[in-house]
Every structure is written in C-alpha cells, then in structure tokens.
Amino acid sequence: MITRDFFLFLSKSSILNRLARNWGSSVATGKIIGGKDFEASIPIIKELNEQGLTVTVDHLGEFVDSREVARERTQECIRAIQLIAQEQLNSHVSLKMTSLGLDIDLDLDLVRDNMTSILECAEQHKVMVTIDMEDEVRCQKTLDLFKEFRQKYEYVSTVLQAYLYRTEQDLEELNPYNPFFRLVKGAYKESPQVAFPDKKDVDENYKKLIKKQLLSGHYTAIATHDDKMIDYTKEIAKEHQIGKDRFEFQMLYGMRSKTQLELVKEGYNMRVYLPYGDDWYGYFMRRLAERPANIAFAFKGMTKK
C-alpha cells in the first residue's frame, strides 16, 4: 500500500523537483495545473466558469529566502488580481506567507508589507485572497497575521487543518473575526505531539470542524475529495436548514471533475483549486499525501487528452 509518508518523502526530492520542472509543461499543464503563468491559465478559468464552477488560483512556490523573490511573488499576485478583474473571472487568489517572505524577516515587516500591497489591490477589485496554511511551525505566525489583516480588510481568508490538535481552539478564537475559512485535512509531515497520527482521528476532527463552522453562520469552504465528508456536509446542512449559499465545496483541478459538475447540478457552490507555475511537483506530492486515494483521480486527470 502506498502511504502518506511515501508521497511526503517524494515531495522533498530536489532531483525529482528539478526533473518535474523540465517536463512539467507537457505532463501537468492543462491537466493538474493551469499553465506556466497566469495568462496561460485564463482560458481554463473561463471554461470552468462557463461550466458553473468558481476558481481559486495559486502561483506555486514557497519557502522563499530572498527579499527580491518575495517582492516578485507579491507583484505576480497583484498582477493576477488585476487580470481577474480585467477579464471578469470568477476567481479567488490563494498564496503562502513563506512565498512573501515569512521566513526572512523575524519582525515580519517584509511579509506584512508585501501582503498589505496585495490586499489593497484585492479590496479595490473585490477579489478574495486566501492565506494558505503551511506546517505547524508557521501556523501561529500565519494566524496572527490573518487576525491583523482581517481587522482592516474584508477580502482576506485563511485555511484551517483538521490534523492539528490546536485547530478546534483556533476556530473558536477566530470566530469573532467573522472569518471565511477553507477547511482541509492537512498534508504536511507533523509530529504526533502536534497532530493526529491516525486517519480516523483526523476524519473525526474534520467532521467536528465542518459542523462547528457551518453552525457558526460563517461562510465555509469544505475542501475535500472524500465522498464521506461531502455526504456529511450535505447531511449537516439539511438537518440544520443551512442554505447552499452558506458554504462551498472545493476540489483540485484535474481531480474528480465529474463529481465537481454533479455538485453544481445539485445546486451546490463548487470551487476548483487551480495552481499555476513551474514549481508544481511538491504541491502535487502533498496533495497525494493528503489522501493517497487521489492517485487514481490524478492518473485519470494527467492522462486525459
């Protein structure tokens, strides 16, 4: 059986990452990523929108150790927001704090300045920016920044991971900020001291978070390919008379496309997570680690014509 740890191990291989960049355009573009740049992804976003699917885009890349690169990533995100508005695309933007310099400046001034520039543009164009969650070591810094930005900006959201013990408490502490959360299971290699080691415990915590957030009245994104979690969400919404306009499902581009369209036909909001850029390999391996069963969906997506 292919395990989660196996995919996490592969995600850290610099050799495989380099090889993936070289042949990624032919294997991944239009199948699991939108393209090498945002412009190349626009036709795909438009096609998804025409099918009734909303989108969130993510310029792949993280753990930036250069101020110059962090500034470049900031400008790339601003450019994406401007093009979303210009092309009238139904799309959000996702980003990682490490791509904006989280690890460079201990005082967080660099990442704070870069994110402020992005959110000023997002507010102007009314485009939601989601702060992706990374490993547990960076969790508190990320949430502290989210709280800070949320007090000033409307178009900012973040992600909570069900495999961390702390997440239920984080959810409760963040509720006063009227948050829009993307709820995920989590895909980083973590110590049993900070994260549930067993899948069944992660699943139970995920259900608990879904129910709590839906009942809170805050708009919620349930990011999953797991039919059990999809069905559970539907049941909770029906039982508590929560309207379909109060939550959305999210899935990866190129995986379970048929299910995505079926959810749209059922009247549910369905958002497709569409990454773009050369640095796709680590992202892809972590998605398989998050749920190894995704390998079947991924294979179908990458072999489609």
Q: Write down the pLDDT at residue 31.
A: 72
- The whole-number average pLDDT for the span 6-32 is 56
Residue 215: predicted pLDDT? 96
Distance (Å, whole) CA 131 – CA 150: 11
Angle at alpha carbon of residue 186, lines to 89 and 226, rounded to 5° = 75
Closest of 249, 204, 199, 243 to residue 222, by C-alpha: 249
Burial of 285 (0-12, 13-18, 19+ CB in 10 A): buried
- Give 244-294 pLDDT, tens digit per residue: 999 999 999 988 999 999 999 999 999 999 999 876 666 666 666 655 555
Mean pLDDT, residues 109-136: 97
Rounded CA-CA distance 183/290 in Å is: 13
What percentage of residues in the chain have a pLDDT greater than 90? 74
The residue ranking higher by pLDDT, 101 or 1, is: 101
Summarize pLDDT for 164-219 with one digit per residue, the tens: 999 999 999 999 999 999 999 997 889 999 999 999 999 999 999 999 999 999 99
Give the pLDDT band (50/70/90) at residue 1. Answer: very low
C-alpha closest to that of 253 among 232, 279, 225: 225
Check residue 287 and give its pLDDT. 62
DSSP label of 175: G
Q: Summarize pLDDT for 136-164 with one digit per residue, the tens.
A: 999 999 999 999 999 999 999 999 999 99
What is the pLDDT at residue 305?
44
Active site residues: 132, 182
Query: What span, in angstroms and rounded, lies between the C-alpha atoms of 91 and 54?
Result: 6
Is 299's pLDDT higher than 50? no
Nearest-angstrom CA–CA distance, 181 and 171: 9
CATH hierarchy code of domain 4-303:
3.20.20.220
In this predicted structure, what is the pLDDT of residue 303? 46
For residue 243, the surrounding DSSP H or E stretch is none
Predicted pLDDT at 11: 47
Helices (H), 151-256: 167-174, 199-216, 227-239
Domains in the chain: boundaries: 4-303
> For residue 147, which of 127, 105, 177, 111 has the smallest C-alpha distance?
177
Looking at residue 285, what is its pLDDT?
66
